[in-house]
Amino acid sequence: MSDRSVPSFAALVQRFFVEHLGQHRAVSPQTIAAYRDTFRLLLAFTETSIGKTPSAVALTDLKATLLLDFLNHLEKVRGNSVRSRNARLAALRTFLKYAGHHDLGALGIIEQALAIPMKRVDRPLIGFLTRSEVQAILNAPDDTTWTGQRDRVLFSLMYNTGARVSEIIGIRCCDIILDGQAAVYLHGKGRKEPCVPLWRPTAALVRRWRRLGGVNAKDDFLLPNRAGGKMTRANVTQRLNLAVGAATRHLPSLAGRSISPHVIRHSTAMHLLQSGVDITVIALWLGHEDTATTHMYIEADLSMKEQALSKLQPQDVKLGRYQPPDQLMRFLEAL
């Protein structure tokens, strides 16, 4: 490959966003925005560190030492969490793998950069609700009012689909199928299979809402605010808090709990898993690009079962401790 055929760093970045992410991988606008912010932060840091403007940066400038300094800057100076740091690194890794196919002369630099490890982060056990707790929240809104009817549909769709808030508030009437097998088309992060089936009670609520709520034009938002516009995340959180407060009066186990829209999403996944649904189907249901993300629900389910088994263990039974038969084994066991 001659020097003339090697694209500049600036050209690679543009092709990466327009062709690779936008056309070939067809990632969501949210993912493109996250990658864009990563590059903006990196190029601003690079200009300060090595004195090159963004347009003058070369791929070979992205040495592992520079990237490590950048990641450290994110944590120490900008106060980013380890999760944010890892997300920025994941974006850069995706770009570097793409760039390696177009600039063979930079492969050595790229390989060293790709060797930068993700930082370990302790993942807390996910929070989720029992079926009775979810049902109490679904029944909490007053269905004699316009907002109460809308909120019942809102929470039922959230639980049925396990969708993110951004996906739920973006649903339009044309995205709903009520003939035959009822379903909803969701548009958002990771949705390779955006059509999610609706359970019969959910479909019945949607039909009633379409009839009584005055949302029938195909471009109408299915779940609008009072002005007929799109609800916001804050709207959804506020309405959920009100529903939880009302449900708590009938189900005290909800008292003092921090219940966000994402907890409803977690609850959907756990209930599907506990019903015997395959993990790959749950990943599609939730719009996970990688089934590894969905495995946290298996870990949570196993943890619950372990806790239940420990309560069944007789009090006077002492488990024997395994004794390694070899010095090397003892050493490894002690690590």
Distance CA 157, CA 261 (A): 11
Of the candidates 88, 150, 266, 288, the residue annotated as catalytic is 288
189 flagged as catalytic: yes
Which alpha helices (DSSP H) does the chain contain, by range? 9-15, 29-50, 64-76, 82-100, 107-114, 131-139, 146-161, 165-169, 200-212, 233-248, 261-274, 279-286, 291-312, 327-334
Of the candidates 88, 265, 266, 271, the residue annotated as catalytic is 265
Model pLDDT for residues 148-196, shown as the tens digit of each residue: 999 999 999 999 999 999 999 999 999 999 988 999 999 876 555 578 8
288 flagged as catalytic: yes
Domains of the chain: 3-114 (1.10.150), 131-312 (1.10.443.10)
Cβ atoms of 294 and 279 within 8 Å: the answer is: yes
Residue 177 pairs in a beta bridge with: 183
Is the pTM higher than 0.75? The answer reads: no
187 flagged as catalytic: no
Of the candidates 52, 189, 208, 230, the residue annotated as catalytic is 189
Tens-binned pLDDT, residue by residue, of the chain (335 aa): 445 578 899 999 999 999 999 888 888 888 899 999 999 999 999 999 999 999 999 999 999 999 999 999 999 999 999 989 999 999 999 999 999 998 888 999 999 999 999 998 766 556 889 999 999 999 999 999 999 999 999 999 999 999 999 999 999 999 999 988 999 999 876 555 578 899 999 999 999 999 888 888 889 999 999 999 999 999 999 999 999 999 999 999 999 999 999 999 989 988 988 888 887 787 777 877 655 566 666 665 555 555 544 555 555 555 555 555 666 456 556 65
Of the candidates 35, 98, 159, 297, the residue annotated as catalytic is 297
Cβ atoms of 170 and 239 within 8 Å: the answer is: no
97 flagged as catalytic: no
The string of DSSP codes covering 203-251 is HHHHHHHHHHS---STTSBSSB-TTSSB--HHHHHHHHHHHHHHHHTT-
Give me 230's structure tokens.
């799109």
207 flagged as catalytic: no
Of the candidates 73, 150, 164, 172, the residue annotated as catalytic is 164
230 flagged as catalytic: no
